[in-house]
Amino acid sequence: MRRLLNARPRVGGRLLLGLLPILALVLLYLVVATARHTENPRDKITPIPAAMAAGIQTMAFEADPRTGEVPLVADTKASLQRLGVAVGLAAATTLVLGLTIGLLPYVRASLGPLVATISVIPPIAVLPILFIVFGLGETSKIVLIFVGITPVMVRDLATHVAAIPEEQIVKAQTLGASTWLTLLRVALPQALPRLIDSLRLSLCPAWVYLISAEAIASDVGLGYRIFLVRRYLAMDIILPYVVWISLLAVIMDLALQAWSRTSFAWAHPPRNAR
Amino acid sequence: MSKLAFRNVWVEYGSKIVLEKVDLEVADGAFVSIIGPSGAGKSTFLRLALGQEAPTRGAILLDGEPLSPEPGPDRGVVFQRYSVFPHMNALDNVTFGLDCAGSPLRGRLGGKARKQAREAAKALLARVGLEHNFKTYPRALSGGMQQRLALAQALITRPRILLLDEPFGALDPGVRLDMHALITELWTEHKLTILMVTHDIKEAFKLGTRVVAFDKRRHDPQAPHRYGSTAVYDFPLDDKKSRAVPPVLKALVSAP
């Protein structure tokens, strides 16, 4: 008998095994929802599929008579714009700071402690400051996401760059590379795949900060909508919104992963299926 | 005329003395093997020659001029590991030196210069036996091929001195023999001055024109760190006859 730790599912089997728990959860929900519905047809806590379909219909396919826009489209556009701008700024800042802190001892000595200090401040705690300083508009939401994810990403990238073997840095210099060229052609290309990995991990907290900011002060956005309809116990809208947000997050994660695999193939050694 | 000269060089880390009173002259075109037990300062000596570290006392002269205190293109190096850039294919690894020299801002040559650089790199890669691996990334190369690549990469900028830090230490015996032949040929073809640190005493005597052994001259049992190592033996190897390993060294350098 083979040990359990040596037994591996085949490709098809792996897919099936991965789907099973998800299907089980969906099934469990359907059973509970149907049971509750038969007992009380006006139950709002666990809407049956038909109710959710009606919710999706109003939110995703009909224009809001007040704004003239389809709510789901307007919310998605607003949220993705905030997320995109913030994550883009965070990535650019991380690249500059992470590379210089990781490679240059003087920058590390002067900025390292500051970044380490900022990264331990809980971002939500500074949200009131951001609202006071930047107002309730787009800026404070973008800054919250930026402040929330950048310090950790900078620290991660700086550590990664600092861990480039000394031999490589010396080798580059013996080949005539200046500080700039070592940064540009040795450190930067090796930092990029790590930055993408770091972005993938940071998207999770980025969504948390986005939804928090939208929940507190906003008039459009995915987080705003969820917290708005919460007042009416509108689970038939909240649940599809949560699924939609998860779907967006998964797509972003897969896109970043695909980008890393195609553009930085050297950083992805072929793995044994495990 | 002497090329590289160490004049009364000391290296100290706080109260610990690593190298003491190193006086050594390396002639143009010499192949110096550096041996010694672990912790005898061989690698520190190479770091000095590389400019990765500055002596606490004394002077290192290159053609009578003080050596610049940081690594530069006049001294090439091949380490035991991590010598090549994992994010560049073989060809880019070799052209890197030319890119740096010709394009200080972008680090990439363009147009005709780029074509020439690639031709030169291809010729050098073919010379070290990697003519079928221009587009291969280091990860996909064997240990011996990676060291061949590292040699080509180091030689493209035509360094005057080549420093080798246990370059064949991680290779299989058969591959090691091939590399011995290659490095000897490259040494003659490129008229290099080579300093090679090695753990393998037979390799040291087989390849070198001179073998320098580092060890501590004196031991203080109460404070072993207070005496540093220095060049205790210095064997010129003028002809093939003298290439047998002297018995005195067999005691000095046990298996690594």
Domain locations along chain B: 2-74+159-252
Q: Using a CB–CB cutoff of 8 Å, tell me whether B104 touches chain A.
A: yes
pLDDT digits (tens, 9 = 90+) for B90-142: 999 999 999 999 988 888 888 899 999 999 999 999 988 899 999 999 999 99
Residues of B with CB below 8 A from A174's CB? 50, 71-73, 75-77, 154, 157, 159
Residues with Cβ within 8 Å of residue B224, at least 6 apart in sequence: none
CA distance A82 to chain B (A): 33
Asked if the Cβ–Cβ distance from B83 to A264 is below 8 Å, we say no
The pLDDT value given to residue B237:
78
Task: Single out the residue of B119, B122, B117, B118 nearest to residue B133, CA to CA.
Answer: B122
Asked if A266's CB is within 8 angstroms of B139's CB, the reply is yes
* Inter-chain touch A173–B76, beta carbons under 8 Å: no
Domain covering A59-267 in this structure, CATH number: 1.10.3720.10
Does the pLDDT value for residue A76 go beyond 90? yes
Of A166-180, B173-187, B212-226, which one has max mean pLDDT? A166-180
Chain A closest CA to B157's CA: distance in Å?
A: 7
CA distances from B132 to A55, B127, B145, B150 (A): 62, 11, 11, 16
CA distance B2 to chain A (A): 22
Using only the alpha carbons of chain A, give its radius of gyration. Answer: 24
Q: Across the interface, which of B77, B107, B156 has its CB nearest the CB of A171?
A: B77
Tell me how far CA of residue A111 lies from CA of A148, A167, A203, in angstroms: 18, 25, 24
Amino acid at B101: A
Binned at pLDDT 50, 70 and 90, residue B227 comes out as: confident
Q: Tell me if A177 and B75 make a contact (CB, 8 A cut-off).
A: no
Q: Do B76 and A185 touch (CB under 8 A)?
A: no
Inter-chain residue contact B107 with A167, CB threshold 8 Å: no
ipTM > 0.95, yes or no = no
Most B CBs within 10 Å, among A104, A164, A174, to test the B interface: A174
Which pLDDT score, from 0 to 100, does residue B252 have? 62
Name the nearest CA neighbour of B124 among B99, B171, B100, B91: B91
Spatial distance between the Cα atoms of A250 and B186, rounded to a whole number of angstroms = 54
- CA distance, residue B232 to nearest chain A CA (Å): 28
Q: In the numeric block, which tokens belong to residue B174?
A: 């058969």
pLDDT-derived band at B240 (thresholds 50, 70, 90) equals: low
Task: Specify whether the CB–CB gap between B145 and B177 falls below 8 A.
Answer: no
Tell me whether residues A174 and B73 touch, CB distance under 8 A. Answer: yes
Count of beta carbons in the 10 Å neighbourhood of residue A271: 6
Quote the pLDDT of residue A145.
95
Of 3.40.50.300, 3.40.1390.10, 3.30.70.20, 3.40.50.1400, the CATH number of B2-74+159-252 is 3.40.50.300
C-alpha span between A246 and A221 (Å, rounded): 15
Is A178 close to B104, i.e. CB distance below 8 A?
yes
Name every chain A residue with its beta carbon within 8 A of the beta carbon of B146: none
- Contact yes or no for B139 and A269 at CB 8 A: yes
pLDDT at B200 over 90: no
Measure CB to CB from residue B83 to each of A171, A189, A265 and give the nearest one: A171
Task: Select from B81, B100, B105 the Cβ nearest to the Cβ of A176.
Answer: B100
Residues of chain A with a CB closer than 8 angstroms to some CB in chain B: 165, 167-168, 170-178, 180-181, 184-186, 189-190, 264-267, 269
What's the mean pLDDT in A30-55? 92
Query: By the CB < 8 Å criterion, does B160 face chain A?
Result: no
Cβ contact B120:B98 at 8 Å: yes
Give the Cα separation of B167 and B180 in Å (integer): 10
With contacts defined as CB-CB under 8 Å, which chain B residues touch A266?
Answer: 86-87, 137, 139
- Does any CB of chain A come closer than 8 Å to the CB of residue B159? yes
B121: closest CA of chain A, how far (Å): 14
Please compute the mean of the pLDDT values over residues A32-39 and round it to a whole number.
94
Predicted confidence (pLDDT) at residue A69 exceeds the cutoff of 60: yes
Q: Which residue of B100, B106, B139 is in closest CB contact with A175?
A: B100
Report CB contact under 8 Å: B100, A186: no
- Crossing angle of helices A71-103 and A222-229, in 10° steps, is 130
CA separation for the pair B198, B177 (Å, rounded): 14
Quick one: pLDDT at residue B215? 86
Contacts of B79 in chain A (CB under 8 A): 167, 170-171
- The larger pLDDT score, comparing residue A145 to residue B245, is at A145
| Per-residue confidence (pLDDT) for residue B69, from 0 to 100 | 83
Q: How far apart are CA B161 and CA B48, in angstroms?
A: 13
What pLDDT was estimated at residue B229? 83
CA neighbor of B168 nearest in space, from B151, B144, B150: B144
B136 touches chain A (CB under 8 A): no
Please report, for chain A, the start and end positions of each structural domain, with discontinuous segments joined by +.
Answer: 59-267
Query: Are residues B71 and A186, on separate chains, in Cβ contact within 8 Å?
Result: no
Q: Which of B53, B87, B99 to mutate to test the interface with A (most CBs of A within 10 A)?
A: B87
- For residue B101, the chain A residues in CB contact (below 8 A) are 176
Interchain CB contacts (distance < 8 Å): A and B? 85
The reported pLDDT for the residue numbered A274 is 42
DSSP string, chain A: ---GGG----HHHHHHHHHHHHHHHHHHHHHHHHHHHHH-TT--SS--HHHHHHHHHHHHSS--TTTSS-HHHHHHHHHHHHHHHHHHHHHHHHHHHHHHHHH-HHHHHHHHHHHHHHHTS-HHHHHHHHHHHH-SSHHHHHHHHHHHHHHHHHHHHHHHHHTS-HHHHHHHHHTT--HHHIIIIIIHHHHHHHHHHHHHHHHHHHHHHHHHHHHHS-SSSHHHHHHHHGGGT-HHHHHHHHHHHHHHHHHHHHHHHHHHHHHTGGGSPPPPP-
Q: What is the pLDDT of residue B239?
A: 61
| φ, ψ dihedrals at B139, nearest 5° | -55, -30
